[in-house]
Homo-oligomer: A and B are copies of this chain.
Amino acid sequence: MVTLDMKKQVVIVGGGFAGLNAARILGNKEDIEITLIDRKNYHLFQPLLYQVAMAALGEGDIAAPLRNMLSNYRNITVFKGIVENVDIEKKIVMSDFGDIPYDYLILACGVQHHYFGNNQWEEFAPGLKTLAQAKEIRRRVMEAYERAERTKDRVERKKLLTFVIVGGGPTGVELAGSIGEMSRYTLSKFYRNIDPKLTRIFIVEAAPRILGSFAPELASKATRSLEKLGVQVWTSSMVSNVDANGVQIGKERIEAATVLWAAGVTAIEIGKTIGLETDRIGRIIVGEDLSITGHPEIFAGGDLAHFMQENGTTLPGLAPVALQQGRTIGKNILLDLKGKTRKLFRYRDKGQMATIGKNKAIVEFGSLKFDGILAWFTWLLVHIYFLTSFRHRVFVLMQWGWSYFTFSYGARLIVNKEWRFYPDPDTCESHRKKEDQE
Contacts and interface: CB of A to CB of B under 8 A. Distances in A.
Interface of A: 1, 40-42, 55, 58-61, 63-65, 67-68, 71, 77-81, 97-98, 131-132, 135, 140, 142-143, 146, 149-152, 189-193, 391, 394-395, 398-399, 402, 408, 410-420, 422, 438
Contacts of A408: 68
A192 B76 CA distance: 8
A146 to B, nearest CB: 4
A191 B74 CA distance: 10
20 contacts: A1-B193, A40-B414, A41-B146, A42-B414, A59-B413, A60-B411, A65-B411, A65-B413, A68-B408, A68-B412, A71-B189, A77-B149, A77-B193, A79-B150, A98-B152, A131-B413, A391-B402, A394-B398, A417-B420, A418-B418
Given A40-B413, A40-B414, 19 more contacts: A41-B142, A41-B414, A58-B58, A58-B59, A58-B60, A58-B61, A60-B413, A64-B411, A65-B190, A68-B408, A68-B412, A77-B149, A77-B192, A79-B146, A80-B149, A132-B418, A416-B422, A417-B420, A420-B420
Contacts of A414: 40-42, 80
A146 B80 contact: yes
- Max chain B CB contacts within 10 Å: which of A65, A150, A412, A416? A416
Nearest to A60: B411
A142 B41 CA distance: 9
A134 to B, nearest CB: 9
Copies of the protein in its oligomer: 2
- Max chain B CB contacts within 10 Å: which of A60, A131, A132? A60
A4 B10 CA distance: 74
Contacts of A55: 60
Contacts of A67: 190-191
Q: Lowest 8 A-B CB distances belong to which pairs?
A: A60-B411, A418-B418, A80-B146, A67-B190, A58-B58, A77-B192, A97-B150, A132-B416
A1 B410 CA distance: 28
B63 A411 contact: yes
Contacts of A411: 42, 59-60, 63-65
B415 A59 contact: yes
Given A41-B414, A42-B413, A68-B190, A80 B150 contact: yes
Contacts of A149: 77-80
A413 B61 CA distance: 11
A284 B415 CA distance: 28
A329 B150 CA distance: 26
Contacts of A41: 142, 146, 412-414
A413 B63 contact: yes
B146 A192 contact: no
Nearest to A64: B411
A415 B131 contact: yes
Contacts of A78: 149, 192
Contacts of A422: 416
Contacts of A415: 59, 131-132, 135, 418
A163 to B, nearest CB: 15
A228 to B, nearest CB: 25
A222 to B, nearest CB: 29
A26 to B, nearest CB: 15
Nearest to A436: B417
Contacts of A398: 394-395, 398
Contacts of A410: 60
Nearest to A77: B192
Nearest to A193: B1
A150 B81 CA distance: 8
- Max chain B CB contacts within 10 Å: which of A410, A413, A422? A413
Contacts of A417: 420, 438
A191 B71 CA distance: 8
